[in-house]
Structure 1
Amino acid sequence: MNIPENVKLYEHAIATFWFDEDGILYSVSKKVPRDVEVMKDYVIFVKKMLNNNKACILSDISNAAPMDKNTRDYIETELKNVYKAMALISKSPLGIMIANIYLKLNTPSFPTKMFANVKDGKNWLKQYL
């Protein structure tokens, strides 16, 4: 996913964020280790960015580093308090396959779906705005 020009960017250790004209939050993941402490900081960062409101997010996870089970469990309990819905995209067919398997085996507590492109992810998210 390309970061558009002329948008306000929010930088965190794990991703770059911005909002589109519809209020959808976008993120492009960075290839950095993700443990519980890093993800706690991420949750605090996003809550502050959203003024403690919930948002829909479209996240390019192509570069996202894998998380261990403790970190995944922590994120699952926290993200439902941050996001209304999450559309995930990846440039990697293998990444898409792994994410789809994970989503089938571990049903998130808020709407979450994997997409091959930004357009389809955004169209799906619009129902949750």
Structure 2
Amino acid sequence: MSFNSTELKQIVLPEGIVTLKTDGIVYVKYAVDTTVDLDVQARMLDAFNEITEKNYSPFLFEAEDGVTVTKEARDNAIVMEESTPCKATAVLVQNIAYAMIANFYVKFNKPKRPFKVFNKKNEAIEWLKLHL
């Protein structure tokens, strides 16, 4: 399985990197020790809209070590779902703590758009390609 998609556009923020690649997927990687609060959510949403030109696209989210999400941001995530350009969301988890958080979000917030948690990047990408 090749992941050699070329970058088309990239936005670098202190909280993370948002990259649109030639495979049509938007890759989001939150930086080490980032606290995702309402302000960070707003900046990231602006970056998502800018990089996609507000066109619906599949998104792959990853987080480096130490990333946390405030309660306010967790509660706001489902509210802001309608205003995001996320056509489908894959969350790549690399440890049990992140898996528990992502699965809790799915179970209790019930996203309206396709949303799935993965621990293998190639599987996440293949699933997202179904939503291009």
Q: Is TM (by shorter chain) over 0.5?
A: yes
Question: Is 2:43 the partner of 1:35?
Answer: no
- Per the TM alignment, residue 55 of structure 1 is displaced from its structure 2 partner at its CA by 1.1
Question: Is 2:62 the partner of 1:60?
Answer: yes
Q: What letter corresponds to residue 114 of structure 2 in structure 1?
A: P
Q: When you count strand as a share of all residues, which structure comes out higher?
A: 2
Q: Which of 47, 50, 63 is equivalent to 1:48?
A: 50
Distance in 1 of aligned mates of 2:102 and 2:120: 14
Relative to structure 1, the CA distance from residue 57 to residue 64 in structure 2 (aligned partners, 3 Å threshold; closer, same or farther) is farther
- Per the TM alignment, residue 89 of structure 1 is displaced from its structure 2 partner at its CA by 0.6
Q: Equivalent residue for 1:79?
A: 81
Identity of aligned residues (%): 24
Q: Which of 113, 119, 124 is equivalent to 1:121?
A: 124
- Per the TM alignment, residue 38 of structure 1 is displaced from its structure 2 partner at its CA by 1.9
SS in structure 1 at match of 2:122: helix
Contact 2:5-2:23 at 8 Å conserved across structures: no
Structure 2: segments with no counterpart, 5+ residues: none
Q: Give the TM-score, by structure 2 length.
A: 0.81
Contact 1:62-1:90 at 8 Å conserved across structures: no
Q: What letter corresponds to residue 18 of structure 1 in structure 2?
A: T
- Per the TM alignment, residue 51 of structure 1 is displaced from its structure 2 partner at its CA by 0.9
Relative to structure 1, the CA distance from residue 67 to residue 117 in structure 2 (aligned partners, 3 Å threshold; closer, same or farther) is same
Q: Which of 91, 94, 119 is equivalent to 1:91?
A: 94
Q: Equivalent residue for 1:14?
A: 15
CA RMSD in angstroms, aligned pairs only: 2.3
Structure 1: segments with no counterpart, 5+ residues: none
Q: Give the TM-score, by structure 1 length.
A: 0.83
- Per the TM alignment, residue 34 of structure 1 is displaced from its structure 2 partner at its CA by 1.7
Distance in 2 of aligned mates of 1:18 and 1:79: 19
Relative to structure 1, the CA distance from residue 54 to residue 5 in structure 2 (aligned partners, 3 Å threshold; closer, same or farther) is closer
Contact 1:26-1:59 at 8 Å conserved across structures: yes
- Per the TM alignment, residue 96 of structure 1 is displaced from its structure 2 partner at its CA by 1.4
